């Protein structure tokens, strides 16, 4: 009974597949027969207009994205205050490497002199008369496609022609909202040509389309025909695009041939108003209609052939593949949901059995490997005695902590800790007692910090805490130091002995006392030794050390 039922399903799938393919072939032949000629012409016209709209949208989105990147870059503190030209140069060169579309990025002072630039190009030159400064100092400026003036000799030719740019510039102001200069960028126009070539190249019935970008004045900015680039077009389709219309027409181009011409305006994206470009996409009328009759014939022939082939394949696959594979897929989904812990044995064709066994083996090995890697990572990043993080964990933590602090406009507090007179404990009670004290110190330090903060042991009785704080970082850091001193002040019990110990703490704050982890640790260490020199059992903020040093220098 079950076997007859299985055979019935396979026959039903085969017949359904055959009927579907034959029906689809008949339907397609009918549709093409009814809509050939003028109707297909309409479909292709709508297609080229859609390509024009997509090209316009892609150009506007790209310009909107890079305009936003320049605006965000202008808000960085280094660019706002001009305090460190080397840091400014590092930032803009990093952006140039990460986003090559920015061919040139320059930071201009309030007089129009280039103080920093990618590759140091034009540094020291005054370009106050260039549009990027003249318009950029008054607000966000986006300039249309133009030839390179000052940078013409700095870059290679593109398609045998000098490189062209699109400008983006924004004013720079300091913390007092005073104008300090202009952030100017040149975007290589090559990206638009790349979009034109790759995004819509050779798609189905539109494999012979040509895409053109036209300026507000009607000048061809970009196209496959270099002879048309730089010339003015007078087409009714272009007139419609300038009226912010989307559609298609049959237009006669300068070569005297008729083309299906799709048009669309590049009218901006979100709060970007655009540069009033127009996009034209054309396909020769003869190329568009040639496949009509050939397509009708091929649909009928191949529809019949495929109906037979797919019905046989479907009949075979329904019994030998669909059932077992579906069972395995359901089991994998159940495992992902946590409903089962291992895959069941699935029986079917020999390959299905092999696949089932190999999947089981692979999942088992991956589980073992994940567990082993997790254990190895934990060992590599943690101190064996106290369970605290080690220097490797601290280095990894700093990398993410600084990025998070910058992103959330917060600060980091770095506390360097050292137990006062720890050696006498080892000498008097033994190293085992000293280890007990270190472990208990680690527990108390963990209680003093939040879950996302780091407590690490650097070696011996030297430890460090890195924690996230708000903008008033020094105040929060000193409050944490006082809490730690209070916790450590409570006696320790080791081997039946009552032990009391104190701690000295040095504090530095990111970014007030430095941007580099090593510099922050070094300054926290200086503050620590100052705390010890002042009698131990206390904390010192690096700012206090700086002021003392400045005061001593002024008295001298």
Residues 6+ positions from 364 with CB-CB distance below 8 Å: 342
User: If we measure between CA atoms, which residue out of 444, 530, 513 comes closest to residue 474?
Assistant: 513
- CB neighbourhood size of 9 (10 A): 14
Residue 285 located in a structural domain: yes
| Domain final position from 289, 306, 326 | 289
Residues 6+ positions from 122 with CB-CB distance below 8 Å: 104, 106, 114, 150, 151
Residue 337 located in a structural domain: no
| Domain final position from 289, 318, 346 | 289
Indicate the DSSP class of residue 124.
T
Residue 240 located in a structural domain: yes
Instruction: Give the chain's length.
Output: 556
Q: What are phi and psi of 354, to 5 degrees?
A: -65, -45
Give tens-digit pLDDT for 309-322: 766 776 666 665 55
Q: What are phi and psi of 47, to 5 degrees?
A: -65, -45
Q: Which residues pair with 498 in a beta bridge?
A: 493
Residue 373 located in a structural domain: no
pLDDT of res. 479: 92
CB 61, CB 321: distance < 8 Å: no
- CB neighbourhood size of 468 (10 A): 20
CATH number of the domain encompassing residue 425: 3.30.70.270
Give tens-digit pLDDT for 223-264: 777 777 778 888 888 888 888 898 988 888 888 888 888 899
User: Which H or E run contains 131?
Assistant: helix 131-134
The answer to whether residues 93 and 223 belong to one domain is yes
Residue 149 located in a structural domain: yes
Q: What are phi and psi of 93, to 5 degrees?
A: -70, -35
The answer to whether residues 262 and 407 belong to one domain is no
Over the chain (556 residues), what is each successive 10-residue block's mean pLDDT? 45 70 69 64 81 85 86 84 85 86 87 89 88 88 73 56 74 87 84 69 62 85 77 87 88 86 87 84 76 66 72 66 64 69 65 68 64 54 81 88 89 92 81 85 90 86 90 87 90 79 92 91 92 90 77 46
pLDDT of res. 342: 66
Give first-to-last CA distance, the chain, whole Å. Answer: 107
Tokens read off for 103: 């061919």
pLDDT of res. 527: 93
Cis bond leading into 522, ω under 30°?
A: no
Residue 182 located in a structural domain: yes
Split into its structural domains, the chain has a count of 2
Distance separating alpha carbons of residues 478 and 506, to the nearest angstrom: 10
* Residues 107-135: b if buried by 16+ CB within 10 A, e if exposed: bbbbebbbebbbeebbbeeebeebebbeb
Under DSSP, is residue 482 helix (H, G, I), strand (E, B) or coil? Answer: helix
Torsion of CA 234, 240, 243, 245, to 10 degrees: -150
Residues 6+ positions from 143 with CB-CB distance below 8 Å: 131, 132, 135, 166, 167, 168, 169
CATH number of the domain encompassing residue 140: 3.30.450.20
Give tens-digit pLDDT for 429-468: 887 888 888 888 989 998 898 888 899 988 888 899 999 9
- CB neighbourhood size of 51 (10 A): 21
| Domain final position from 241, 273, 289 | 289
Q: Which of 193, 418, 461, 525 is catalytic?
A: 461
Domain holding 154, by residue range, is 36-289
Tokens read off for 302: 């191949």
Of the CA atoms within 13 Å of residue 76, those in its CB half-sphere come to: 21
Distance separating alpha carbons of residues 384 and 132, to the nearest angstrom: 59
Q: How far is it between the farthest Cα atoms of the chain?
A: 107
pLDDT of res. 212: 87
User: If we measure between CA atoms, which residue out of 374, 396, 388, 408 comes closest to residue 464?
Assistant: 388
Residue 342 located in a structural domain: no
Residues 6+ positions from 292 with CB-CB distance below 8 Å: 32, 36, 37, 40
> Where do the DSSP E strands lie in 176-254?
179-188, 210-214, 220-222, 247-252
Order of strands across the sheet that contains 102-109: 114-117, 102-109, 179-188, 164-173, 141-147
Tokens read off for 318: 């329904």
The answer to whether residues 152 and 273 belong to one domain is yes
The answer to whether residues 264 and 410 belong to one domain is no
Distance separating alpha carbons of residues 145 and 187, to the nearest angstrom: 9
**Which of left, alpha, beta for 390 (phi over 0: left; psi -120 to 50: alpha)?**
beta
pLDDT of res. 150: 63
Look up 461 and say whether it is catalytic: yes
Give tens-digit pLDDT for 194-205: 777 766 555 555
Residues 6+ positions from 66 with CB-CB distance below 8 Å: 99, 101, 102, 168, 185, 187
The answer to whether residues 396 and 284 belong to one domain is no
Tell me the DSSP string of 309-360: HHHHHHHHHIIIIIHHHHHHHHHHHHHHTTS-SSPPP--SSHHHHHHHHHHH
The answer to whether residues 267 and 396 belong to one domain is no
Distance separating alpha carbons of residues 20 and 298, to the nearest angstrom: 17
Distance separating alpha carbons of residues 293 and 512, to the nearest angstrom: 76
pLDDT of res. 288: 66
Residue 462 located in a structural domain: yes
Distance separating alpha carbons of residues 183 and 115, to the nearest angstrom: 10
The answer to whether residues 276 and 395 belong to one domain is no
């Amino acid at each position: 009974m079950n076997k007859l039922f299985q055979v019935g399903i396979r026959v039903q799938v085969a017949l359904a597949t055959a009927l579907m393919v034959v029906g689809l072939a008949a339907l397609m032949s009918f549709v093409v027969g009814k809509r050939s000629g003028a109707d297909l012409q309409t479909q292709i016209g709508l297609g080229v207009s859609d390509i024009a709209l997509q090209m316009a949208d892609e150009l506007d989105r790209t310009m909107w994205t890079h305009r936003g990147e320049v605006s965000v870059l202008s808000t960085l503190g280094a660019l706002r205050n001009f305090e460190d030209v080397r840091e400014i140069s590092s930032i803009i060169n990093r952006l140039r490497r990460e986003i090559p579309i920015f061919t040139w990025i320059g930071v201009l002072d309030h007089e129009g002199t280039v103080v920093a630039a990618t590759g140091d190009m034009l540094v020291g030159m005054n370009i106050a008369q260039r549009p990027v400064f003249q318009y950029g100092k008054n607000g966000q400026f986006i300039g249309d496609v133009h030839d390179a003036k000052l940078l013409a000799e700095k870059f290679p030719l593109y398609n045998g022609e000098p490189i062209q740019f699109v400008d983006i510039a924004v004013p720079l102001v300091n913390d007092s909202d005073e104008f300090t200069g202009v952030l100017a960028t040149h975007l290589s126009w090559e990206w638009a040509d790349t979009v034109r070539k790759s995004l819509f190249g050779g798609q189905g019935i539109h494999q012979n389309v040509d895409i053109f970008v036209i300026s507000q004045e009607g000048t061809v900015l970009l196209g496959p025909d270099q002879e048309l680039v730089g010339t003015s077009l007078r087409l009714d389709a272009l007139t419609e695009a300038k009226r912010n219309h989307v559609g298609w027409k049959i237009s006669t181009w300068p070569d005297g041939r008729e083309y299906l011409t799709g048009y669309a305006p590049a009218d901006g994206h979100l709060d970007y108003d655009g540069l009033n470009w127009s996009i034209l996409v054309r396909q020769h009328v003869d190329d568009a209609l040639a496949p009509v009759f050939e397509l009708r014939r091929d649909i009928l022939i191949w529809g019949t052939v495929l109906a037979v082939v797919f019905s046989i394949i479907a009949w075979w696959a329904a019994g030998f593949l669909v059932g077992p594979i579906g069972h395995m897929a359901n089991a994998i989904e159940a495992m992902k949901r946590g409903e089962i812990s291992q895959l069941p044995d699935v029986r079917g064709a020999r390959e299905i059995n092999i696949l089932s066994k190999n999947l089981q083996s692979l999942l088992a090995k991956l589980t073992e490997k994940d567990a082993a890697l997790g254990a190895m990572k934990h060992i590599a990043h943690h101190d064996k005695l106290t369970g605290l993080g080690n220097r490797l964990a601290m280095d990894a933590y700093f990398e993410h902590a600084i990025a998070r602090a910058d992103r959330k406009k917060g600060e980091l507090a770095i506390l360097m800790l050292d137990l006062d007179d720890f050696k006498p404990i080892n000498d008097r009670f033994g190293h085992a007692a000293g280890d007990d004290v270190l472990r208990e110190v680690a527990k108390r330090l963990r209680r003093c910090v939040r879950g996302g903060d780091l407590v690490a042991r650097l070696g011996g009785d030297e430890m460090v805490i890195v924690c996230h704080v708000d903008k008033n970082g020094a105040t929060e850091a000193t409050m944490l130091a006082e809490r730690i001193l209070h916790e450590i002040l409570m006696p320790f019990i080791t081997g039946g002995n009552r032990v009391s110990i104190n701690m000295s703490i040095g504090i530095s704050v990111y970014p007030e006392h430095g941007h580099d982890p090593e510099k922050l640790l070094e300054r926290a260490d200086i503050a620590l030794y100052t705390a010890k020199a002042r009698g131990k059992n206390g904390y010192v903020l690096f700012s206090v050390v700086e002021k003392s040093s400045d005061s001593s220098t002024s008295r001298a």
